[in-house]
């Protein structure tokens, strides 16, 4: 796509915006990725903290336009917070710098009847539509025949057959979008409403700034809805009164909301009469046969466990060669920096702070990418819904439903999108309970922490058939979060968030081969996000921690060791090395960090930690990956080695002042359990505040998680020591 | 063929593989509304694909899972 880079940063003003909508699982995201590629970015709707995913698209004759990806929805009568976002954006209730000029609806050809429900509603809003008829290949394979030109005639809007995953039909789609954007609104054909309603609604809409005819019609039909109450809030009592008058005038009663569905389906069936031929609607598909196994109460759960174990094992075994090369690269850069920079504070900051610290975090990029590779594959192939089905049984006793599973699983990647994904949960109490336990799921930022300690202290043994002890330990750590989340959710739902069990309804899409572009985009975005964090938040924290560990420089210590060195001139190299290490150790102990560390030592000692671990854990409260960076910096400052050994070796050789090794398996496990349970992520707490609109929920999350982390680490250490010595 | 309404049974008591047509959805709650919106309207072919505490039903060409207790609100006419 020929797109000027400078163009990308231009404000939205003056540029056409086309919204992409459709039912879930229609390939909407695949199409969005295929059309916009790397130009997409995530921002907010102005004034509200609702995420807004926009990409750029060059249209013939029109030029660059913005494509706005809206959450999937089955209907304009929103039943969950994310559906409400889609509806309010379309209706112009969510303000936008640029108004939406046209709507691209994505339909699943193998599910045409149901997909047309939202089309029948979209025909009543004030925007021109283009219909993309996706997954025709799947439909064809099932013997379904669709006459797209006739459908287009019935709907009165362009219907373009496409195959988003194979990038088929995109040029035709762009042409259709161009024509629609240029031409603007076409006269609407409503399946439900008479012309007189339309005229009345138009008159009412004209009286209020920001109210569209479509919005008036929508709340006229369906007034028992979150949209309706938002509209009343937003446009005031006069609008409500006017609406009331109009309802009486055109004779709308509450029963119409119920009849709406029936009337629309009658219209759909008429429209499809000469369009759709489906000889065998209840045909048993390959997906159904697979599901007999994958959703089987026993075999399904077993395969779920095997899939998860495989994922965690692969994260370890596949990443090693890549990590070694990144590690080697940072070694070279570190050596180069020590050679070129003059000895002193600057050299120390670059080599011991930035390279040892941030470098230590960046090494884990391959593992992050592998984790997201699996998450993206599982999501895109359709397996996630099956996993949610299996998990509903486990989640029901703790007061949640299978709906909570997908946000929780996303939290294994990162709790921030996980918390936002709770918008698909209809019940507000279930939603908050899910948000509060989501940070207990081991996110990708914990992976570097686990990886460094597992790599250093858990023996690399093969347990059974290619599954190693290291992979199993990682799997166990992921389970810690899950097993703690169950009672926490249960208690929340019994106390603060008491409520009726809510229904659980989830579509099981057909299995499909994951789309390479969609999976690639997911890996690219998360990898970039990880590096951006390392380059900003982690870098800043590392420099602060380096400064605390480097200053103040003690003249007395330097003078003392200078005279020692003069006395020992000509002594063997090992003696001088030992002297330097002692000097560095003493320097670190009297630094600001060292002094603080000694103050907190009594608190962390019961966990088996020394003050360095304690300080590193404390420094990790803004973002947990910081621990790896801080340990890198502390050990790099505290020890002298020209070779710059890897952090793993540094940890293995660390000792207490009496010469005992600091780390053993119970200590490593205690640290990992602490990090598994602790709320060490400012961004997550902020997003919980944003999504709930109340401070008490992030505060509660922080308090309960930190307490559990301390208790968990203590129990792990004591248990480990008792088992180890017994 | 004319069916007597009494013969309609809740999908929650259907067995795996049972097929038929939807007779109606009872209730005016959000679940009932959503089921109708996704096409669970009278006359639409339906089949039960999984039984247990969470059931999977096929409505037309879509498949949905829901709890057995919730599936009780969907009444269907089982094909012989």
Q: What domains does chain B contain, in order, with CATH numbers?
A: 5-78 (2.30.30.90)
How far from the centroid of its chain's Cα atoms is residue A100's Cα? Answer: 26
Which chain A positions have a beta carbon within 8 Å of B14's beta carbon? none
B74-78 and A276-277 beta bridge pairing? unpaired
Average pLDDT of the residues in A63-89: 90
DSSP string, A23-47: -TTSSHHHHHHHHHGGG-EEEE-TT
- Give the C-alpha separation, A684 to A86, whole Å: 24
**The pLDDT of residue A13 is above 70:** no
Handedness of CA B42, B48, B52, B54 (dihedral sign): negative
More confident residue, A719 or A312: A719
Instruction: Provide the pLDDT confidence category of residue A47 given band limits of 50, 70 and 90.
Output: low
The Cα-based distances of A673 to A441, A446, A467, A480 in angstroms read: 12, 10, 22, 8
pLDDT value at position A645?
Answer: 57
Q: Looking at chain A, which residues constitute the CATH 3.40.50.300 domain(s)?
A: 5-183
Cβ–Cβ under 8 Å, residues A637 and A549: yes
pLDDT per residue as tens digits for the range A366-414:
877 888 888 889 888 999 899 989 988 888 888 888 888 878 887 887 7
What is the predicted ipTM?
0.91
Average pLDDT of the residues in A324-339: 83
More confident residue, A197 or A300: A300
Which chain A positions have a beta carbon within 8 Å of B56's beta carbon? 291, 295, 389, 508
pLDDT value at position A50?
Answer: 65
Residue of A nearest to B63 (CA): A508
**The pLDDT of residue A686 is above 90:** no
| CATH of the domain spanning A5-183, picked from 3.20.130.10, 3.40.50.300, 3.30.70.100, 3.90.180.10 | 3.40.50.300
pLDDT value at position A8?
Answer: 40
Interface test with B, best of A293, A426, A503, A511 (most B CBs within 10 A): A503
**The pLDDT of residue A650 is above 50:** yes
pLDDT per residue as tens digits for the range A189-210:
677 777 777 888 888 888 888 7
pLDDT value at position A4?
Answer: 39
**The pLDDT of residue A224 is above 60:** yes
pLDDT value at position A121?
Answer: 92
**The pLDDT of residue A129 is above 70:** yes
Residues of A in CB contact (< 8 Å) with B are 74-75, 77, 79, 110-111, 113-114, 117, 142, 144, 258, 261-262, 265, 278, 281-282, 287-288, 291, 295, 297, 385, 388-389, 392-393, 396, 401-402, 426, 503-509
Cβ–Cβ under 8 Å, residues A512 and A327: no
Instruction: Provide the pLDDT confidence category of residue A571 given band limits of 50, 70 and 90.
Output: confident
Positions of E strands within A362-474:
462-464, 467-468
Instruction: Provide the pLDDT confidence category of residue A318 given band limits of 50, 70 and 90.
Output: confident
Determine phi and psi for A107, rounding to 5 degrees.
Answer: -115, 150
pLDDT value at position B2?
Answer: 47
Average pLDDT of the residues in A87-103: 82
pLDDT per residue as tens digits for the range A516-554:
888 998 888 888 888 887 788 778 878 887 888 888 888
**Token output for A608:** 């088996």
Return all residues near A497 (Cβ < 8 A) that are at least 6 apart. A399, A429, A430, A432, A433
- Give the C-alpha separation, A214 to A122, whole Å: 9
Average pLDDT of the residues in B2-25: 84
pLDDT value at position A107?
Answer: 96
- Give the C-alpha separation, A376 to A367, whole Å: 14
**The pLDDT of residue A43 is above 80:** no
**Token output for A263:** 């009337």
Interface test with B, best of A75, A114, A403 (most B CBs within 10 A): A114
- Give the C-alpha separation, A71 to A74, whole Å: 10
From its phi and psi, is residue A17 left (phi > 0), alpha (psi between -120 and 50) or beta?
Answer: beta
**Token output for A211:** 């109210």
Report B:1-20 residues touching A (Cβ under 8 A): 19
- Give the C-alpha separation, A431 to A419, whole Å: 9
CB-based burial, A146-162: b 16+ in 10 Å, e otherwise: bebebbbebbebbbbbb
In chain B, helix, strand, coil percent, each to 5?
20, 40, 40
Instruction: Provide the pLDDT confidence category of residue A82 given band limits of 50, 70 and 90.
Output: confident
Cβ neighbours of A648 (radius 10 Å): 16
Does the beta-carbon distance from A75 to B37 stay under 8 Å?
yes
Cβ neighbours of A60 (radius 10 Å): 11
């Amino acid at each position: 796509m020929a797109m000027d880079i400078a163009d990308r940063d231009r404000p939205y003003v003056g540029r056409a915006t086309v919204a992409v909508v459709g039912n879930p699982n229609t390939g909407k995201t695949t199409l969005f990725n295929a059309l916009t590629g790397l130009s997409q970015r995530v921002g907010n709707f102005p004034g509200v903290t609702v995420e807004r995913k926009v990409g750029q698209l060059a249209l013939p004759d029109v030029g660059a336009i913005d494509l706005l990806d809206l959450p999937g929805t089955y209907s304009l009568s929103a039943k969950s917070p994310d559906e409400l976002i889609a509806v309010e954006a379309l209706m112009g209730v969510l303000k936008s710098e640029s108004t939406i000029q046209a709507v691209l609806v994505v339909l699943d050809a193998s599910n045409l009847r149901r997909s047309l429900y939202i089309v029948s509603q979209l025909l009543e809003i004030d925007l021109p539509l283009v219909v993309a008829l996706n997954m025709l290949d799947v439909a064809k394979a099932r013997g379904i025949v669709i006459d797209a030109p006739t459908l287009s005639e019935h709907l009165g809007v362009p219907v373009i057959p496409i195959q988003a995953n194979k990038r088929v039909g995109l040029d035709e789609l762009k042409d259709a979008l161009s024509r629609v954007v240029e031409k603007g609104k076409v006269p609407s054909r409503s399946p439900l409403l008479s012309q007189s309603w339309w005229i009345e609604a138009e008159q009412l809409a004209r009286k209020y700034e920001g109210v569209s005819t479509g919005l008036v019609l929508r709340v006229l039909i369906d007034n028992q809805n979150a949209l309706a109450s938002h509209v009343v809030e937003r446009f005031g009592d006069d609008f409500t009164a006017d609406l009331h008058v109009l309802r009486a005038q055109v004779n709308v009663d509450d029963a119409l909301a119920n009849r709406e569905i029936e009337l629309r389906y009658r219209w759909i069936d008429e429209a499809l009469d000469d369009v759709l031929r489906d000889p065998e609607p209840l045909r048993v598909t390959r997906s159904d046969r697979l599901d007999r196994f994958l959703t089987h109460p026993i075999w399904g759960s077993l395969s779920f466990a095997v899939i998860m174990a495989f994922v965690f094992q692969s994260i370890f075994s596949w990443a090693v060669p890549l990590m070694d090369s990144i590690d080697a690269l940072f070694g070279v850069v570190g050596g180069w920096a020590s050679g070129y920079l003059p000895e002193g504070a600057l050299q120390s900051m670059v080599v011991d702070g930035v390279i040892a610290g941030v470098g230590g975090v960046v090494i884990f990029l391959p593992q992050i990418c592998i984790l997201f590779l699996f998450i993206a594959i599982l999501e895109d192939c359709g397996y996630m819904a099956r996993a949610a089905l299996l998990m509903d049984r486990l989640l029901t006793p703790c007061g949640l439903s299978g709906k909570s599973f997908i946000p929780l699983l996303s939290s294994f990647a990162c709790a921030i999108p996980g918390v936002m994904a709770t918008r698909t949960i209809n019940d507000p109490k279930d939603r908050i309970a899910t948000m509060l336990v989501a940070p207990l799921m081991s996110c990708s930022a914990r992976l570097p922490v686990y990886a460094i300690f597992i790599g250093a202290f858990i023996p690399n043994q093969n347990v059974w058939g290619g599954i190693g002890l290291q992979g199993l330990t990682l799997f166990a750590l992921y389970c810690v979060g899950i097993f703690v989340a169950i009672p926490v959710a249960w208690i929340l739902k019994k106390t603060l968030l008491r409520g009726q069990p809510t229904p659980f309804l989830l579509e099981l899409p057909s299995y499909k081969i994951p789309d390479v572009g969609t999976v690639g985009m997911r890996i690219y975005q998360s990898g970039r996000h990880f590096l951006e964090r390392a380059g900003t938040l982690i870098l800043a924290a590392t420099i602060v921690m380096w400064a605390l560990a480097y200053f103040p420089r003690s003249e007395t210590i330097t003078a003392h060791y200078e005279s020692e060195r003069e006395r020992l001139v000509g002594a063997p190299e090992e003696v001088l090395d030992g002297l330097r290490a002692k000097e560095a150790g003493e320097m670190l102990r009297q630094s600001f960090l060292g002094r603080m560390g000694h103050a907190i030592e009594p608190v962390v000692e019961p966990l088996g930690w020394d003050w360095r671990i304690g300080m590193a854990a404390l420094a990790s409260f803004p973002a947990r990956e910081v621990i790896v960076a801080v340990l890198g910096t502390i050990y790099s400052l505290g020890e002298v080695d020209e070779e710059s050994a890897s952090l793993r070796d540094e940890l293995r050789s660390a000792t207490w002042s009496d010469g005992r090794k600091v780390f053993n398996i119970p200590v490593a496990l205690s640290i990992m359990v602490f990090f598994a349970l602790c709320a060490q992520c400012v961004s997550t707490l902020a997003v919980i505040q944003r999504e709930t609109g109340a401070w008490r929920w992030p505060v509660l999350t922080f308090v309960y998680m930190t307490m559990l982390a301390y208790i968990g680490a203590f129990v792990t250490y004591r248990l480990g020591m008792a088992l180890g010595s017994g | 063929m004319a069916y007597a309404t009494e013969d309609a049974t809740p999908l929650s008591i259907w067995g795996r593989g049972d097929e038929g047509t939807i007779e109606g959805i009872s209730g005016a709650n959000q679940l009932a509304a959503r089921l109708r919106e996704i096409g669970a309207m009278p006359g639409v072919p339906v089949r039960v694909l999984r039984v247990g505490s969470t059931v999977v039903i096929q409505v037309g060409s879509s498949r949905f899972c829901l709890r057995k207790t919730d599936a009780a609100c969907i009444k269907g006419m089982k094909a012989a």
